[in-house]
Amino acid sequence: MLLAFLTGVLAAEPVDVTDIALDELLEVDTVGGAEGSFGYRLQQVGVSPWLHAYAVGELYGETGTAPTFDLHYFNVFVGAEIQDVVVPEVQLEYEHGGGEIQMRYGQVDIRTPSDALTFRVGKFMVPMGTYNETLYPEFLTPLPDRPLVLQEIVPVSWAEVGLQLRGGAELGKGWRLGYATYIVNGLEQRDDDPTDGVVQEAGNIRDMRDNHLDAYNGNKALGFRLGVQGPNGFSAGAATYNGRYAIEAPLGLGMYGIDISWHPGPVLLQTEFFEAVLERVSGEDRRTWGSYFLVGVEITDWLEPVAQADIIRPGLDDPSQDRERISLGVILRPYPEKARFLVVKGSGAMTTYGVGDPTYRAVGQVAVGF
């Protein structure tokens, strides 16, 4: 009986996976001794995967701290395109040379026949301005350090779990309109004891990230961004975000912002402004706002000096947290034609406070996307 069984298996016709629909293919066992397994079968039905990454190494020092080397990031992108319809992608983050790997985002885009609508589900970068969603990889950013407003108000990098609808339309003569709207679990104030009746409120927005599951507060946050792109590298947009942030009280967090970028020839001009309003039970709402303005000039294809001015008003009772910063930097591209995404950057910055002496910071950075 065993001999007859083995003879039957060896005589069986091979399965041609290219003639089987995906849902049927995943239910078919491969013939004994055939090449590959699950991943190989996916490739046969039009799944085109990719693997990319970027690495960032730094040497930095600032007033009151010792200079140190830092493997800031070594992050990996893994994704695929399925018959030009479904595009899943995940970014895995390895930060500061530590032993823990985290998922910065993991999303699935589902395209429709029209460019006007794409569904995005999973954990995605929040389209609040342009920096958080498209510019944060350091091989793309002009300076090693992010603007202050994108550290404390828009908490780059900021990802949320939910559903997003996005798309755009051509307006003619080089102009395009784009939008993104989403519903997510939202930012949430940390609370050591979420059932003691003591409301934790108006805290640090950056610490409210990573609310992957709404365990105590089922209210969802809503957001929207409308943007336009035009000739000569011009783009502009306006965005809003609103949601409940406190666990033990119906307190809202509203965030509003505008972004403008213009890149005529070798010159880059870029600015963003954001304001956040956090409701409080104990008194007046906390209003925090900030902005930056950046200018860069590409003197040659390998040399680009950059200057940036920052301002932030955290809306706290402590005026020492009000800050203004001036940064000067330079971008070097050793191989502008062969390796455009290899950059060497240096910057120096002076930060002044509402109270106290200024502080100074210097950063040298090597970043590469590959």
> Are the C-beta atoms of 184 and 220 separated by less than 8 Å?
yes
- Full-model pTM: 0.88
Q: Which tens digit of pLDDT belongs to each residue from 283-292? A: 899 999 999 9
Q: Is a pLDDT exceeding 70 seen at residue 7?
A: no
Has residue 349 been placed in a domain?
A: yes
Same domain, 178 and 135: yes
Has residue 142 been placed in a domain?
A: yes
Reduce the DSSP state of residue 204 to 3 states and report it: coil
Same domain, 1 and 58: no
CA 317 to CA 8: how far, in whole Å?
A: 81
Same domain, 16 and 149: no
Q: Which tens digit of pLDDT belongs to each residue from 135-158? A: 778 999 999 999 999 999 999 999
Of 17-26, 189-198, 304-313, which gets the smallest average pLDDT? 17-26
Same domain, 62 and 187: yes
Same domain, 126 and 190: yes
- Report the Cα 115 to chain-centroid distance in Å: 22
User: Residue 36: which domain range?
Assistant: 1-45
Q: How confident is the model at residue 205 (pLDDT cuts 50, 70, 90)?
A: very high
Omega before 235 cis (within 30°)? no
Q: Is a pLDDT exceeding 90 seen at residue 317?
A: no
Q: How confident is the model at residue 17 (pLDDT cuts 50, 70, 90)?
A: very low
> Are the C-beta atoms of 367 and 75 separated by less than 8 Å?
no
CA distances from 114 to 81, 111, 224, 227 (A): 17, 8, 20, 18
Same domain, 41 and 62: no
Same domain, 206 and 237: yes
The per-residue pLDDT for 60 is: 98
Closest Cα to residue 104, out of 142, 69, 130, 132? 132
Same domain, 188 and 293: yes
Q: Is a pLDDT exceeding 50 seen at residue 105?
A: yes
Has residue 103 been placed in a domain?
A: no
Q: Is a pLDDT exceeding 50 seen at residue 161?
A: yes
In the chain, the number of structural domains is 2
Has residue 93 been placed in a domain?
A: no
Q: Which tens digit of pLDDT belongs to each residue from 22-75? A: 555 455 454 555 566 667 767 777 788 999 999 999 999 999 999 999 999 999
CA 143 to CA 295: how far, in whole Å?
A: 11
Same domain, 2 and 150: no
Has residue 201 been placed in a domain?
A: yes
The per-residue pLDDT for 6 is: 33
State mean pLDDT over 173-201: 95
Same domain, 278 and 360: yes
Q: Which tens digit of pLDDT belongs to each residue from 111-137? A: 999 989 999 999 999 999 989 988 778
Q: How confident is the model at residue 217 (pLDDT cuts 50, 70, 90)?
A: confident
> Are the C-beta atoms of 231 and 264 separated by less than 8 Å?
no
On the 0-12 / 13-18 / 19+ scale of CB atoms within 10 A, 337 is exposed
Q: What is the CA radius of gyration of the chain?
A: 25
Closest Cα to residue 27, out of 14, 13, 17? 17
Query: What mean pLDDT value characterizes the chain?
Result: 90
Has residue 100 been placed in a domain?
A: no
Same domain, 34 and 65: no
Q: Is a pLDDT exceeding 60 seen at residue 302?
A: yes
Has residue 137 been placed in a domain?
A: yes
CA 150 to CA 172: how far, in whole Å?
A: 33
Has residue 102 been placed in a domain?
A: no
Percent of the chain residues topping a pLDDT of 90: 78
Same domain, 152 and 6: no
Per-residue tokens: 107 = 């999303």
- CATH number of 151's domain: 2.40.160.10
